[in-house]
Structure 1
Amino acid sequence: MQKMTRKPTHPGKIIKEDYLKPLSLTITDLASFLGVSRKTLSKIVNERASITPDMALRLSRAFDTTPDLWLTLQKNYDLWQAEHTSGAWRMVKPIPPQLLHSHG
């Protein structure tokens, strides 16, 4: 697993800091451009919701970026959160290499 030393930035914070503020847009303004409700966008901007593939497509079209950018930001944030807030995955027993590579 790739180790990240600092917590990745939630994509919502990036929307707020890199797009809303510099462009002097409100959440309501951007929600209108994106074709989503203010409530939906507010949850993302306030880091209470994740970027979905549909939202990634909308953001990429609005900001002339790529959907992969938004989904990668979300993935990095989610993986860091899972690694640092849940210990359940540490209980998984690795399958022995000889079993993994013996098929075929």
Structure 2
Amino acid sequence: MATTRKPTHPGCIIRHDYIEPLGLTVTGLAEHLGISRKHLSQVLHERSKVTSGLALRLARAFNTTPELWLNLQRKVDLWEAERDTPDLDKVSPLPGVAEDGTEAR
């Protein structure tokens, strides 16, 4: 496991870097994004994930890239999976596979 601190959820970034400084409301932002207030609230409270579709909407609204939002979500997902996948520590590289993932010669 590379990091012990959980990566920041995209919902936290939306709250602290956009909603608060721009004086937005959850209802207003949800309407602007074309999603339900309930769904946006779930993302903001880290109970829901940023999907590809939401990443596209956020990128347009905040003049960023969809990759930014998907990468933030991916980091959270992988961090959680490293802790929640049973017996992950028992899986090792297959014989003949080099450290960089290519076939060893």
TM-score, scaled relative to structure 1: 0.85
Partner residue, 1:29: 28
Structure number with higher helix proportion = 1
Alignment root-mean-square deviation, CA? 2.0
Partner residue, 1:66: 65
Q: Partner of 1:97: helix, strand, or coil?
A: coil
* Post-superposition offset of 1:82: 1.3
* Post-superposition offset of 1:87: 3.5
Structure 1 distance, partners of 2:28, 2:18, is: 12
Structure 1 distance, partners of 2:46, 2:103, is: 41
Structure 2 distance, partners of 1:16, 1:101, is: 45
Q: Partner of 2:48: helix, strand, or coil?
A: coil
Q: In structure 1, what residue type is equivalent to 2:27?
A: T
> Aligned pair 1:56/2:55, yes or no?
yes
Runs of at least 4 residues off by over 4 Å? none
Q: In structure 2, what residue type is equivalent to 1:25?
A: L
Partner residue, 1:101: 103
* Post-superposition offset of 1:4: 2.2
* Count of aligned positions: 101
Q: Partner of 2:60: helix, strand, or coil?
A: helix
TM-score, scaled relative to structure 2: 0.85
Partner residue, 1:82: 81
Structure 1: runs of 5 or more not aligned: none
Structure 1 distance, partners of 2:53, 2:27, is: 18
Q: In structure 2, what residue type is equivalent to 1:33?
A: H
